[in-house]
Amino acid sequence: DAGVIQSPRHEVTEMGQEVTLRCKPISGHNSLFWYRQTMMRGLELLIYFNNNVPIDDSGMPEDRFSAKMPNASFSTLKIQPSEPRDSAVYFCASSFLLAGGEQYFGPGTRLTVT
Amino acid sequence: QKEVEQNSGPLSVPEGAIASLNCTYSDRVSQSFFWYRQYSGKSPELIMSIYSNGDKEDGRFTAQLNKASQYVSLLIRDSQPSDSATYLCAVERAGTYKYIFGTGTRLKVLA
């Protein structure tokens, strides 16, 4: 079975540009999580969805960040406008259960904003 | 006090030895605990989940949970160089469905 799929795997963009990260969760999973990992702050939860509905976006750093999940098999994380401090690895994870469920991570998108 | 604390390491053990990784957490009512392994440049990979006090074994890995003392540990028996990675402890914050990750312990298994 395919795991969590993310695209692109690497993204280099200039400050001010719009960035869109994509995620396809594991089939049958009903919860999806977006994380950001940096050396300074470690792994941080940005937002999570249950049955395509955003449950908690309190981890989203600023209004420049937005996320959508239009259907059970696709989610996007958008940064507009991007800034150099947004440079990080962004992971998407999915699980079958929301509470206590084991989360499985995608390969991540390494974002560099110059 | 951080919600989830791990010693950053590196923890160095010889090949074949037992590696012991520890994690403490602050939320007394947390119910779900997870260990992930992350190789450099890769994504976190789930190793074990544990929900009840005591030990849970899976191959060379044993997770131990003590809710009264608020710690969870991971033992790796017969450590191999391929076990060299960063091990992340995650605790589900009660009532929120959020995983709080520790900063990870870097393990080095010396051949």
Half-sphere exposure of B42 (CA within 13 A, CB side): 14
Residue-wise DSSP of B9-28: --EEEETTSPEEEEEEES-T
- The alpha carbons of chain A give a radius of gyration, in whole angstroms, of 13
Q: How many A-B residue pairs are in contact by the CB < 8 A criterion?
A: 44
Cβ contact, residue pair B97, A108, below 8 Å? no
pLDDT, tens digit (0-9, with 9 covering 90-100), for B69-111: 999 999 999 999 999 999 999 999 887 778 999 999 999 999 9
CA distance B105 to A36: 18
Amino acid A27: pLDDT: 94
Strands A65-71, B98-101: parallel, antiparallel or unpaired by DSSP? Answer: unpaired
Residues in contact with A58: Cβ distance below 8 Å, sequence separation at least 6, in sequence order? none
* Amino acid symbol at B19: A
Structure confidence by residue, pLDDT tens digits, B5-53: 999 889 999 999 999 999 999 988 888 999 999 999 999 999 999 999 9
8 Å CB contact between A44 and B103: no
pLDDT digits (tens, 9 = 90+) for A59-87: 998 899 999 999 999 999 999 999 999 99
| Pairwise CA distance, residues A41 & A56, whole Å | 20
Q: Contacts of residue A50 in chain B, CB cutoff 8 Å?
A: 97
